[in-house]
């Protein structure tokens, strides 16, 4: 059994009171981007490198997934009703910003506006909703409202598992701090019969040709 870990850094962002535009503080937000200008959506991307296992021609069978958090997001001048969505996602193929955002809204369920990421391609996903209440607004911390998990934990012969965190803020808050996290995968590498392994390898290759930006 192996435990694979990949970290995402903390970030800070401020909002211009005159026009409502968000600015990501680059010096304190390594690895984070704002894909949609001034919309309060922030993304961090990384990946687990499994090349050593693929060279040994072994398949990775997942036994468990976990996200370790430091603390809930912190806000400034947040009013009751302000909210924040936080997505942690691990997939067998690279994703565009739009695919990550659609997953944040609709998960990997089928239907209008759904993500193109399928159930089988989703190793693990967690969507959490935070909200400012009358009790927490004064001291700058949001309360966890919901915590939902998706994913198939399907085995893979891919040499990478892609790891993403996305945060989307809505409301009157003027500053936001998202704290770091660690994505964990517990997995076991197993040597399968050749025909099964070759099929998984072919499928992994097809998926990674989509839009790997590395």
Note whether residue 213 is domain-resident.
no
Structural domain tally of the chain?
1
What lies within 8 Å, CB to CB, of 114 at 6+ separation is: 102, 106, 107, 108
User: Is pLDDT of 207 > 70?
Assistant: no
**What percent of the chain shows pLDDT beyond 70?**
84
> Is the distance from CB of 124 to CB of 4 less than 8 angstroms?
no
d(CA 123, CA 154): 6
Q: In this predicted model, what pLDDT tens digit does every residue of 34-49 receive, in sequence order?
A: 999 888 999 999 999 9
Neighbouring CB atoms inside 10 A of 85's CB total 18
> Is the distance from CB of 41 to CB of 34 less than 8 angstroms?
yes
Residue 157, pLDDT score: 77
Confidence tier at 195 by pLDDT (50, 70, 90) = very low
34-39 own/partner pairs: CB under 8 Å, 24+ apart: 35/97, 35/101, 36/97, 36/101
Note whether residue 96 is domain-resident.
yes
Neighbouring CB atoms inside 10 A of 84's CB total 24
Residue 44, pLDDT score: 98
Closest by Cα among 199, 94, 104, 99 to 150: 104
> Is the distance from CB of 59 to CB of 173 less than 8 angstroms?
no
Residue 188, pLDDT score: 84
d(CA 121, CA 180): 25
* Domain, as residue range, for 139: 2-208
What lies within 8 Å, CB to CB, of 160 at 6+ separation is: 47, 48, 49, 50, 51, 208
Note whether residue 160 is domain-resident.
yes
**What percent of the chain shows pLDDT beyond 90?**
55
Note whether residue 214 is domain-resident.
no
What lies within 8 Å, CB to CB, of 209 at 6+ separation is: none
Determine whether 32 is exposed, middle or buried from the number of CB atoms within 10 Å of its CB (0-12, 13-18, 19+): buried
DSSP state of 115: -
* Alpha-helical segments (H) within 7-147: 51-55, 97-106
């Amino acid at each position: 059994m192996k435990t694979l870990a990949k970290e995402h850094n903390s970030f800070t962002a401020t909002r211009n009171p005159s026009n409502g535009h968000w600015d990501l503080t680059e010096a304190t937000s390594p690895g984070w981007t704002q894909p949609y200008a001034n919309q309060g959506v922030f993304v961090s991307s990384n990946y687990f490198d499994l090349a050593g296992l693929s060279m040994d021609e072994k398949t990775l069978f997942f036994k468990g997934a976990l996200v370790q958090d430091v603390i809930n997001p912190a806000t400034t001048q947040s009013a009751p009703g302000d909210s924040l969505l936080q997505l942690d996602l691990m997939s067998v193929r690279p994703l565009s910003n739009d695919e990550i955002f659609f997953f944040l809204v609709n998960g990997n369920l089928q239907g209008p506006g759904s993500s193109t990421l399928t159930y089988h391609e989703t190793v693990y996903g967690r969507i959490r909703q935070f909200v400012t209440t009358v009790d927490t607004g004064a001291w700058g911390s949001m309360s966890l409202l919901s915590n939902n998990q998706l994913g198939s934990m399907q085995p893979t012969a891919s040499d990478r598992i892609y790891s993403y965190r996305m945060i989307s803020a809505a409301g009157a808050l003027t500053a936001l701090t998202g704290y770091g996290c660690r994505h964990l995968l517990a997995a076991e590498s197993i040597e399968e019969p050749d025909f099964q392994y070759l099929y998984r390898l072919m499928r992994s290759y097809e998926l990674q040709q989509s839009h790997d930006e590395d």
